[in-house]
Amino acid sequence: MTLERGRIKIVVWDSIGNTLLGVRPWASWEPAIQEVLRAEDPAAQEHAPPLAEILDAWDIDLVWFNSADEPYVHFGQLYADYGDALRFSRDLDEIAAEVADADFVVLHKECLPAEAIREASRLRLIQHLGQDARGVPLAAARARGVPVAATPLVNYITVAEQVWAYILNWSKRLPALRQHMRDRAYAEHWTRFPGTRYLGDMTLGLLGMGEIARPIARVAQAFGMRVVYRDTVRFPELEEQYGMTFVAWDDLFRDSDVVSVQLALNPQTENIIAAREFGLMQPHALFVNTARGGLVDQAALTEALRTGQIGAVALDVFAEEPPAPDDPLLVMHDDADERITLTPHNAWQSPWTWVRDSQELWLNVARAMRGEPIQHLI
């Protein structure tokens, strides 16, 4: 059923800003970004409509809650079309009061109280950015008959892709094979090269089972790997879906051939992976971190690799970014040590990731307004 063209209230709770990055007015984007987008798609401006254009058929009352210390400068421009509705607050009572008469709620990495939904008599859709929607009170929403949609974060999928690039690079010894071919060392042993690995015999350990870890697990399942994981909570449905096992912290490090880190960095997780954890790992194992460098004691990681406690390292993140030119890990990398792969915190990146993320979210809200089938329902 199409919404009547009266005033529609949308409450956005997003302290990061990803819900809005790709729906800014084109003129507000930096020229360098416009150039990159046009290089991939000459019709980029047409394919990235601003929020005002996506919602132009309705009279919108838009309220955005944000608590970032330094909000993104262009967010104010986004809201100019809708009046002064940008509020810097995490007060749950204030948020619940706004949700009470909202037609739509848009969330990103926030925890909406169930009580807020129970009082929201007009609520038609809760739209979450990202498929790890654990901050949405699903039971309360279902009890009220309010649909919940969770659109995927493309930039998280690209991180998962890079994790698999690391794993395959290590398991098939691609750096060594490239050197083997460069040296013309293949003449006597064509079709044979020692030390490559069959993933179906291996265990993948995932630290964190959020939105990046899930596509990693899905690919591991396709390769026939055993998958174990550790998180602050269990996910029985995902365990069944991906054939995963929830294990103790120590067991994950001890049993895994590949350990991949997808944890959030906070005061409780800073340097949570240190010498003790590396001491538990198998001497051939690969350690992958695409989350945050601060999760890992980098000196302990460097020593574990240097002494052979672990077999290989692949990092997209570092304790200090960018790392110092004389960082020991960079020095080892410069020596073409095949055990180490380093990249410059770019795993999330492709020209259209952040545009697609917020575009699909708001297009889904517009579908609901027009009475069309809502996509990405959970």
**pLDDT of amino acid 82:** 53
Res. 353: pLDDT tops 90 = no
CATH number of 155-342: 3.40.50.720
pLDDT digits (tens, 9 = 90+) for 135-155: 999 999 999 999 999 998 888
Give the pair of three-digit tokens for residue 188: 């006597």
Give the pair of three-digit tokens for residue 315: 């990092």
What is the average per-residue pLDDT within 194-212?
96
User: What is d(CA 249, CA 195) in angstroms, rounded to the nearest whole number?
Assistant: 29
Q: State pTM to two decimals.
A: 0.84
Percent residues over pLDDT 70 in the chain: 92
Res. 18: pLDDT tops 90 = no
**pLDDT of amino acid 23:** 87
Give the pair of three-digit tokens for residue 96: 């619940």
What are the angstrom distances between the C-alpha of 77 and each of 25, 46, 52, 96, 308?
A: 8, 19, 11, 25, 53
CATH architecture for segment(s) 7-151+350-370: 3-Layer(aba) Sandwich (3.40)
The alpha carbon dihedral of 59, 366, 149, 209 has a sign of: negative
Res. 1: pLDDT tops 60 = no
Residue 59's identity, in one-letter code, is D
Give the pair of three-digit tokens for residue 231: 């998180």
What is the average per-residue pLDDT within 243-261?
99
Residue 42: is the preceding peptide bond cis (ω within 30°)? no
Query: 126 pairs with which residues across the strands?
Result: 105, 148
Percent residues over pLDDT 90 in the chain: 70
Q: Binning pLDDT at 50, 70 and 90, where does residue 75 land?
A: low
Q: Are 314 and 166 in contact (CB under 8 A)?
A: yes
- The ranges assigned to domains in the chain are 7-151+350-370, 155-342
Q: Binning pLDDT at 50, 70 and 90, where does residue 337 land?
A: confident
pLDDT digits (tens, 9 = 90+) for 227-243: 999 999 999 999 999 99
pLDDT digits (tens, 9 = 90+) for 292-325: 999 999 999 999 999 999 999 999 999 999 999 9
Q: Are 238 and 217 in contact (CB under 8 A)?
A: yes
**pLDDT of amino acid 71:** 53
**pLDDT of amino acid 9:** 92
**pLDDT of amino acid 218:** 97
